[in-house]
Each structure stands twice: as structure tokens, then as C-alpha cells.
């Protein structure tokens, strides 16, 4: 199943608001609008607020207070950086963010560890064949990461 297309940062924020309501999460949003405010400036001239095509790039930072705590940074270039319980997932497509969050809060995300080579991985499966996996580099993983462990 293909995820719904989220053509704008605002449409992605609306989708995340729905998920926050569904899972009863407290959500805060900070918006940065304009090429002079966003962290990535790919097409704007120095000192301007609009991109070369006249559009205003929109970036949003979202905090979801829950178990686990999650933050999402939506970039104008259709991707996102998601942090789940201090584990970073870079370059997640904006269209995949709602499914990613549903997997985390719906109980599908899990950790897998191996004795050799040693390592603990946070695995976030999405509908279809997409799976995001990141190494947990924390010296002391939190209770949520330990609770969602599965055998390797």
C-alpha cells in the first residue's frame, strides 16, 4: 500500500496532529517559514525570504510527548529527521512519516540485538516492504527500548 502523498509541510503537520489525537499524545509545533528562517537553503539567494521560484519554504519541528518521546523535523525538501527515544532516523521521506509514527505508537517498532558483533538496533517496519533500522548508540538504552526487544 502506497502512503498518501503529503505535498506540503503543512499537510504532514495535519497528518501528525491526527496521529497525536488518535494516540492521545501532547504535541507542540514550531514553524519556520521563509528561506531566511529554514535550516536548509537550497535555492534561495542570500538574504532573501523566498526561493528562486517565489515560494516560501516551510519547515516544522514537532515534539510528541508520550512513551516513547518522538520529535520530527519536516524539511521543505520532502524529507524528515525523526528522533525516537534519542535514536535518530535521518532522511525519512515526508510521505512515510505518518506510517512511521503509527508503527512506533502502534507497537510494531522493536529492537533487535546481537551478541556478536554486539549491537542493538531499533527497527521500525512500515506497511509494504519498507523498514527503517538504526543502531542504538546509547550506552544506556531507556526502558522503552529495552521493553520492545525481540530475539535476533
Other Cβ atoms within 10 Å of 93 Cβ, number: 14
Percent of the chain with pLDDT over 70: 75
- Residue 44's pLDDT is 46
Compute the mean pLDDT over every residue in the chain, rounded to the nearest whole number. Answer: 82
- Rounded to two decimals, the pTM is 0.83
Residue 74 lies in a domain: yes
Q: Which domain holds residue 92?
A: 9-107
Residue 22 lies in a domain: yes
Residue 141 lies in a domain: no
User: What total number of domains does the chain contain?
Assistant: 1
- Residue 71 maps to which CATH number? 3.90.1150
Q: What is the pLDDT of residues 62-88, one digit of tens each?
A: 999 999 999 999 988 889 999 999 999
Distances (CA, A) of 146 to 14, 65, 69, 131: 31, 19, 15, 20
Amino acid at each position: 500500500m502506497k502512503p498518501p502523498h503529503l505535498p506540503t509541510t503543512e499537510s504532514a503537520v495535519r497528518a501528525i496532529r491526527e496521529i497525536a489525537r488518535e494516540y492521545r499524545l501532547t504535541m507542540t509545533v514550531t514553524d519556520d517559514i521563509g528561506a531566511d528562517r529554514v535550516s536548509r537553503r537550497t535555492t534561495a539567494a542570500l538574504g532573501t525570504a523566498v526561493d528562486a521560484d517565489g515560494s516560501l519554504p516551510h519547515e516544522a519541528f514537532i515534539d510528541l510527548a508520550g512513551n516513547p518521546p518522538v520529535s520530527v523535523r519536516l524539511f521543505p525538501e520532502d524529507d524528515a529527521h525523526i528522533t525516537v527515544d534519542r535514536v535518530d532516523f535521518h532522511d525519512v521521506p515526508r510521505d512515510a512519516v505518518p506510517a512511521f509514527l503509527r508503527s512506533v505508537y502502534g507497537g510494531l517498532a522493536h529492537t533487535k540485538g546481537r551478541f556478536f558483533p554486539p549491537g542493538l538496533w531499533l527497527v521500525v517496519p512500515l506497511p509494504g516492504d519498507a523498514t527503517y533500522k538504526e543502531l542504538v548508540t546509547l550506552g544506556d538504552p531507556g526502558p522503552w527500548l529495552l521493553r520492545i526487544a525481540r530475539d535476533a
